[in-house]
């Protein structure tokens, strides 16, 4: 059968998840910032649901991996919990954690699913946050030590690694807009945190390339900044927005250097980070082998309607306003615009401006509230999710046809999982999770995705 949309041989079909959002706290010997924040401010979490059980992957991984295989996964991106592997973030590894991650990796391989392993997915060990987290340069050394231990323990079987998932998010959430712990609003600290994260990333890449054989990259949530119009002021607003939210990590990760206009802007407002001798060479010499791209929604911006209050704290928002495009397609549950072409625009940008780096869609997905409304004969008929994936895949296919080096597509996520402050408000998975019984049930999208994976494509 000739498929209208067929994908390259050995395309990566799978999904992504993270430790904190799926494992639960079973056998974990120390806290992350999420455990601590939930204990101190449970009201900040949807319906008061915290990270103690989540989707209980710790106890149910064999069932979950069997289900992954059943719906055609050949790859799966997971993360290691730093606080689980090395209690309090430094020192000896915990043998229970080593056994668990070994078992998960071996189980994936047994089912012909290649494990992609990410080292940091928002879950700073609390003991290190108490020392300042990424504000403190010492934490970089602790991270590199953690990375080395993970590479030593699992690198014989894991050949695709990622240092960070969406490193801009802890910067935005923890240091600008107060939606992650430590709930600080301070752009100077935010910029230092972002910078130290990239130094930690480059040091881990350097270590991996020196001692191990495989590929190492980073996962970035790239959100195209579309201007309201072609007016120079709107174009400038979108350019600056792009510098802050995309290029602040994309350029140093892929090109090994920061954009000159970002440096000039931060210098002008006295917000440059503190650096050390040798940092520039470190970044230059340790670029990524592979880029994971998380794409959910576009960002639309326009020139500011009003000048910022000169007495307010410095913010990226001094340079642009958000713009709601009339007639846009929306996911009403998440409040996010659905714009499938964005996935194509990202890939063309990587091709034209970033050496056509090898990349893949490491997350894309649709969160929907109260999905039980769509149950028919015991199954959630999530045609909206099938349409969402299909329309994004069409644009991804077009990018591949035009020469972009796209290696795969991973949905967020395999089974419904705990989403930070939103907990289980919006469901994203191929499998639904009953929070009382932890029973997993395949949705319609799971069987659709199985067909796509097995055929390596689809007809519309």
Active-site positions read 363
Largest CA distance in the chain: 65
Alpha helix (H) ranges present in 354-406? 383-401
Packing angle between helix 444-455 and helix 383-401, nearest 10 degrees? 20
Between β-strands 75-79 and 12-16, what pairing exists: parallel, antiparallel or unpaired?
A: parallel
The length of the chain in residues reads 460
Q: Which helix (H) or strand (E) holds 379?
A: strand 379-380
CB atoms < 10 A from the CB of 257, how many? 13
Distance CA 135, CA 138 (A): 9
Burial of 409 (0-12, 13-18, 19+ CB in 10 A): buried
Distance CA 26, CA 58 (A): 7
User: Contact 440/62 with Cβ under 8 angstroms?
Assistant: no
Distance CA 283, CA 252 (A): 6
96 SS3 class? helix
Tell me which residue of 72, 75, 74, 98 sits closest to 85, measured CA to CA. 98
């Amino acid at each position: 059968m000739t498929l209208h949309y067929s994908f390259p041989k050995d395309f990566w079909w799978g999904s992504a998840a993270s430790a904190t959002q799926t494992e639960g706290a079973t056998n974990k010997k120390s806290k992350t910032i999420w455990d601590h924040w939930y204990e101190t401010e449970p009201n900040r979490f949807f319906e008061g649901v915290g990270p103690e059980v989540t989707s209980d992957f710790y106890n149910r991984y064999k069932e979950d991996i069997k289900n992954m295989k059943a719906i055609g996964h050949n790859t799966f991106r997971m993360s290691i919990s730093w606080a689980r592997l090395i209690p309090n973030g430094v020192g000896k590894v915990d043998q229970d954690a080593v056994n668990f991650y070994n078992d998960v990796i071996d189980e994936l391989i047994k089912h012909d699913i290649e494990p992609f392993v990410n080292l940091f997915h928002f879950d700073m060990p609390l003991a290190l946050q108490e020392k300042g987290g990424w504000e403190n340069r010492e934490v970089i050394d602790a991270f590199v030590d953690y990375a080395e231990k993970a590479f030593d323990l699992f690198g014989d079987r894991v050949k695709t690694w990622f240092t960070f998932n969406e490193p801009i998010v802890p910067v935005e959430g923890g240091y600008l807009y107060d939606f992650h712990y430590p709930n600080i609003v301070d752009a100077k600290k935010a910029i230092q945190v972002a910078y130290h994260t990239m130094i930690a990333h480059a040091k881990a890449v350097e270590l991996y390339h020196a001692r191990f054989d495989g590929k190492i990259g980073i996962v970035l949530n790239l959100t195209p900044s579309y201007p309201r119009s072609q007016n120079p002021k709107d174009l400038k607003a979108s350019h600056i927005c792009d510098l802050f939210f995309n290029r602040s990590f994309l350029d140093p990760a892929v090109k090994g250097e920061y954009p000159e206009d970002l440096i000039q802007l931060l210098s002008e407002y006295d917000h440059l980070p503190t650096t050390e001798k040798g940092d520039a060479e470190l970044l230059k010499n340790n670029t990524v082998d592979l880029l994971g791209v998380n794409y959910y929604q576009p960002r639309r911006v326009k020139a500011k309607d009003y000048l910022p209050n000169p007495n307010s704290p410095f913010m990226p928002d001094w340079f642009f306003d958000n713009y709601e495009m009339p007639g846009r397609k929306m996911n009403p549950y998440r409040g996010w615009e659905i714009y499938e072409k964005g996935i194509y625009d990202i890939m063309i940008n990587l091709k034209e401006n970033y050496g056509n780096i090898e990349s893949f869609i490491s997350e894309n997905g649709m969160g929907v509230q109260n999905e039980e409304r769509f149950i028919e004969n015991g199954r959630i008929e999530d045609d909206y999710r099938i349409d969402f994936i299909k329309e994004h895949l069409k644009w991804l296919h077009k990018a591949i046809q035009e020469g972009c080096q796209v290696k795969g597509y991973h949905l967020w996520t395999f089974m419904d999982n705990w989403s930070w402050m939103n907990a289980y408000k919006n469901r994203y998975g191929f499998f639904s999770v009953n929070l009382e019984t932890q029973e997993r049930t395949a949705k319609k999208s799971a069987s659709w995705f199985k067909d796509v994976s097995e055929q390596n494509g689809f007809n519309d």
